[in-house]
Amino acid sequence: MLNPARILCQQGTLQQLKAKLAQFKQQPNYLQDTAYANRVNELAFIYADSYPDSALSMLSGQVEVCRAMGYKVGVANIYKIVGNAWQTKGNYEKALEYYQLAYELAVKINYNKAIPGILNNIGLVHLNQGNYPEALKQFYQTLKAAESVGDQFLEGSALNNIAIVHFYQGKLAEAEAVYRQTLQIAASMSDTIGIILAYNNMGEVNLEQRKPATALHHLTIAQRLATLKKSPEMLVVTANTLANTFYQLDSVDKALYQFENALQIARQQDYGTAACKALIGLAKVYNKKGLLKEGLANGLEALEKSTAMGQVQLIRDANEIVAILYGTMGEGKKAVGYYQAYKLYSDSLHNIASERASASYQSRYEISKKELAFEKRALQQRWILFSALAALLALGIILWIINRNKKRLNQAYHHLQENNKAIEAQKLQAEDMLHKLKATQSQLIQSEKMASLGELTAGIAHEIQNPLNFVNNFSEVSKELLDEMKEALAKGDTGEAAEIANDVIQNLEKINIHGKRADAIVKGMLQHSRSSSGLKEPTNINELADEYVRLAYHGLRAKDKSFNATLHIDYDQSIGNINIISQDIGRVILNLITNAFYVVTDRKKQQSEGYEPTVSVTTKKEAGNILVSIKDNGLGIPPQIIDKIFQPFFTTKPTGQGTGLGLSLSYDIIKAHSGELKVETKEGEGSEFTIQLPVV
């Protein structure tokens, strides 16, 4: 991912700056004009990003020129631009040296406007070196400095860079949330480049979240805007990310086209980082297509370029694909060497200190609040001590009163003992009845769970059939291929035998994939059937709802082939993960969706003509709450029983078809999550049940 603070410049701007400088040089004493110094710095700033040697040459001697005219702001800008040039060249030690000079001078002369940009660049150096704790420290300082001077551009840049660290640490939900903040800032500034990068970066996060469809949506927006903007840099960025998306979707040819397009633009514009990403992507595509030599050439070129630039993340990724290619080619020793390098770089990017740094910086404000609370408690304790002294005095008076009334209390005590014996007998009788009631209730609850499990199992049977069919088919094909390989070996045709072996390996990989899919389905069923752990964990409510809606639908289809209903789905993708007990909330969704399917089916039996059974499932985030709504167009709930539907054992279903505990248990589960379960209904038109959960 690229830094959104990167300045893009049209060729016309370069020509205009060069023309301005030429005009200045025709004037006497131009070296004493701060406007001339500013134009030199502007031109060098542009060159530092792509032509660092030209920028360094241009700024040679400029520090002395600015000092001679007492122009300290110009000197600070020169130090910063020289740091940019050294960072582009990959000399991070030199870059940090000049950034530090720029920072110290800016602080000394109160050049506050420049401080956020300098801090941001220092953070980028540490980010490129894989030093995440120090990078985060600098980015949070950048954010604070940018807010103090009202620089929205650098606020967005700092947030983007914080999101990059989250992304590399695998904290994808946090990264996506911060990228949405950068999108809002870019939109408020009408910054098209910032908007493109925000959508592109969200697409990359979606890829890591295994959401290729969502990634494709965001990346399509980004590429369309990049095309309208006619920005080569944005085109190469979006092409690389789109290629990765198509690669995950197994659209190998589309991925190949996008990677080649990205590589062509990157080489034309001399974008080293983008070229490395495209080369690594091409190596993966060629490996998948079986073109191992072509893939290895691309992988080794990417490794050479990334090593020259000192880009730790790219070095790691290049080592990984080269190791895979050598392994596939049968060169085990070489594969092991590159894999060890990959592991070394991978471990360096996920150290414990970097994982904790973000929480440390974000928690400082909370710590200050806790210190204030501590002072408040200390004051309260002093008041408690004073109150205790007063209480001792009052205690003496109370003891005198107690002693006076002691005789009266003894008489009352004997009377109470007689009453307690009678109460104890009644208590034992009540406890015995309560135990029996709890046992009966447990049996009924288990029956409800088993009924729910039955619906779920029917759906799982449908879901699991597909991977099992694949496993069976690929197993049969593999057996036939092995028979052919035996014949080829018998003939001495090792070439054909090797090709057949590769086919068998591919089949076994596919068997493994579909076997894991079946395993996941079975584990999901077991998770539903077992008792809840009672522990809340981050859960994607959209995925949870979609899973149970699908299983309920297929479960009813498996039980009743005539069942059919139109299903409308509308999920709010901005919700992200929320802390819930997923098994319990899954049971609630399953109960509600099963009830919805039951009532529309029941109405269809009564009104077969002109009626289309329809169930809608929606999720959305609203005023600090997550809403999950399940709506049907059944017959609705009569007003006279609406107040009873959440009562235990109350049911409108025929005898033997329901326990009357489904809605009652659902209501209790949602209450245990500090939420609400509501219903809106209109008799003859349908009902809508809404689960409201707080965002915690």
When pLDDT is cut at 50, 70 and 90, the band that residue 291 belongs to is very high
Which CA distances in Å does 62 have to 59, 79, 87, 108? Answer: 5, 10, 20, 20
Amino acid making up residue 45: F
pLDDT at residue number 333: 85
Name 19's bridge partners.
Answer: none
Mean pLDDT of 135-163: 89
When pLDDT is cut at 50, 70 and 90, the band that residue 118 belongs to is very high
- The helix or strand, by DSSP H or E, that contains position 14, with its residue range, turns out to be helix 11-25
Task: Name which of 175-184, 505-514, 530-539 the model is least confident about.
Answer: 530-539
In our burial notation (b when 16+ CB lie closer than 10 A, e otherwise), range 650-680 reads ebbeeeeebbbbbbbbbbebbeebebebeee
Specify the higher pLDDT residue, 24 or 443.
Answer: 24
When pLDDT is cut at 50, 70 and 90, the band that residue 461 belongs to is low
- Percent of the chain scored above 90 by pLDDT? 24
Q: What are phi and psi of 140, to 5 degrees?
A: -70, -35
pLDDT > 50? residue 270? yes
How far is 694 from 673, CA to CA, in rounded Å? Answer: 8
When pLDDT is cut at 50, 70 and 90, the band that residue 527 belongs to is low
Mean pLDDT of 302-331: 85
pLDDT > 80? residue 386? no
pLDDT > 80? residue 284? yes
pLDDT at residue number 332: 83
What does the mean pLDDT of the chain come to? 80
Specify the higher pLDDT residue, 257 or 373.
Answer: 257
Give the tens place of pLDDT for each residue, 33-60. Answer: 888 889 898 888 887 875 678 889 989 9
Amino acid making up residue 639: P
Give the tens place of pLDDT for each residue, 409-437. Answer: 666 666 767 777 777 777 777 777 777 66
H-state helical runs in 492-563 = 494-529, 541-559
When pLDDT is cut at 50, 70 and 90, the band that residue 100 belongs to is very high
When pLDDT is cut at 50, 70 and 90, the band that residue 269 belongs to is confident
Specify whether the CB–CB gap between 463 and 523 falls below 8 A. no
pLDDT at residue number 6: 41
Top mean-pLDDT range of 95-104, 234-243, 360-369, 482-491: 95-104
Mean pLDDT of 113-125: 92
Three-state SS annotation for 316-345: HHHHHHHHHHHHHCCCHHHHHHHHHHHHHH
Specify whether the CB–CB gap between 341 and 159 falls below 8 A. no
Specify the higher pLDDT residue, 614 or 471.
Answer: 614
Mean pLDDT of 264-279: 86
pTM (two decimals): 0.45
Give the tens place of pLDDT for each residue, 193-247. Answer: 889 988 988 988 888 888 878 888 888 898 889 888 888 888 888 888 888 888 8
Residues 6 or more apart whose CB falls under 8 angstroms from that of 567 comprise 549, 553, 614, 615, 616, 617
Specify the higher pLDDT residue, 402 or 675.
Answer: 675
- Residue 390, class by beta-carbon neighbours within 10 Å (0-12 exposed, 13-18 middle, 19+ buried)? exposed
pLDDT > 90? residue 472? no
Mean pLDDT of 666-681: 91
pLDDT > 80? residue 444? no
Query: Shortest CA distance to 632 belongs to which of 601, 676, 664?
Result: 601
pLDDT > 60? residue 350? no
- Percent of the chain scored above 70 by pLDDT? 79
pLDDT > 70? residue 388? no
